[in-house]
Amino acid sequence: MSTPIDLTALKNRQMASWASGDYAVIGTTLQIVGEQLAEACDLLCDERVLDMAAGNGNATLAAARRGCHVTSTDYVAVLLERGEDRARENAWK
């Protein structure tokens, strides 16, 4: 008989792990992956995009640069905040 998994505890451990380091800095080195994903999806201006597990926004920003309306979600608030900072820094460049 298997032991039931405490999903809340698991989720809390995962959130702590993702927030523990400076993943946002590491994640920016993966920016090309977001660009490649947007290209592979053939995203067009004014399309609506949902970026789930957005982290610091690599795919979000790639879609936004193509003129898409993007909503980003992640359960690690600090990563979303970094994504917002990056979006502000890249606005109208």
What residue ranges do the domains of the chain occupy? 7-90
DSSP summary character for residue 71: E
Q: Give the count of alpha carbons within 13 A of 81, CB side only.
A: 5
pLDDT classification of 25: cutoffs 50, 70, 90: low
- For 68-89, b/e burial (b = at least 16 CB within 10 A) is bebebebebebbbebbeebeee
Is the pLDDT score of 84 beyond 60? yes
Q: What is the pTM of this model?
A: 0.76
Strand ranges in the chain using DSSP code E only, listed in sequence order: 48-52, 69-73
Nearest to 69 by CA among 44, 91, 90: 44
Region 51-76: mean pLDDT is 94
The confidence band for 27, taking pLDDT boundaries of 50, 70 and 90, is low
Whether residue 17 has pLDDT greater than 90: no
Domain range 7-90, CATH architecture: 3-Layer(aba) Sandwich (3.40)
